[in-house]
Structure 1
Amino acid sequence: MYAETAVSPALSAIAPARHWARARLSEVGIDDGRLDLLVLLVSELVTNAVAHADPPVILRVHVDDQRTRVEVTDGVREVPVVRDPPPTALGGRGVMFVDRLASSWGTSEEEGTAAKAVWFELRHDDVVELGRFSTEQP
């Protein structure tokens, strides 16, 4: 399954993007903790794109037999970095969550109106543990 949608470059677009991703992922049978983890990571990428980048922002979801890949493109070449903010900081943890919870992640340069894509993958054979959620793989 492959799907993409344009995301408005506004913080108010984060929740609709998250709901869109949840619906697409649910359609292909992803559920339980894996779905919640994917939606959390989608939210982090979209938040970074609308808060720190320029349009156009495009959210892409690709699910195959081995993994789920999510990409968010935007119009700024600056790439995100993993930060380790103090516990009292109100933000700055999004990329750290992606780094620690995804199977892999990275950035790539884009052609056309988008400058870069930030992506993550979650392999279907990885064990997912997120708080109270645990999905065991066969």
Structure 2
Amino acid sequence: MESEGTTASRAASGNRLIEAGYALDGEDGCIAQARHHAMAFLEHATTEHLLMVPARARDLTQLVVSELVTNALKHAPGPVLMELGITAARVEITVRDSAPVAPVVRAPDPGRIGQHGLEIVKSVSEHFAVLCESAGKRVVAWIALA
């Protein structure tokens, strides 16, 4: 369903204290597996690195991971890469896919059924960005710990 994740301490590199990466192949259960990886990553940050990760940040991380991985699997061919990082102030979520086209965050519309994922991600994130690259794109969201 996915490749093994790797976790590394990164005290000297940027602000990230810990980071992990996962390759997701898009098979059944892939989105749930991505959420599981995110929760295991946050648990590792709490137990092994003694970082305080409030329940709100855990819940929002699961939500954002779910929405970003769902969009990548829905709109891009091929595998999806998910990277997680944590600093003293935030959880950083990056999802990379092979589609070079940036997704469109639609304007709020309470009458629209579905297609609210990026709208939700943008509203709960401290920072949201889409970076188009030569071999696809990466979507980045930060969830505040405080």
**Superposition TM-score, scaled by structure 1 size:** 0.80
Q: 1:76 aligns with which of 99, 113, 120?
A: 99
Q: Which runs of 5+ in 2 are unaligned?
A: 1-17, 47-52
C-alpha distance after superposition, 1:90-128 (max 9, x if no partner): 4201000111100010111335xx411011012334xxx
Partner of residue 109, structure 1:
132
The count of corresponding residues between Structure 1 and Structure 2 is 123
Equivalent position SS for 1:122: strand
User: What 5-or-longer segments of structure 1 have no aligned partner?
Assistant: 126-138
Partner of 2:29, secondary structure, is helix
Matched, 1:60 2:104: no
Could you list the per-position Cα deviations for residues 74-102 of structure 1 after superposition, in whole angstroms to 9, with x for gaps in the alignment? 00011111124644544201000111100
Whether the aligned pair in 1 keeps the contact of 2:100 and 2:133 (CA below 8 Å) is: no
Contact 2:126–2:141 (Cα < 8 Å) also in 1: yes
The residue type equivalent to 2:85 in the other structure is H
CA distance 1:11–1:80, change in 2 (3 Å)? farther
Identity %: 33
Task: Write the distance in 1 (CA, Å) between the matches of 2:79 and 2:100.
Answer: 12
1:49 & 1:11 partners in 2: Cα distance?
14
Residue pairs, 1:1-138, within 5 angstroms: 1-10=18-27, 12-29=29-46, 30-84=53-107, 86-87=109-110, 89-111=112-134, 114-125=135-146
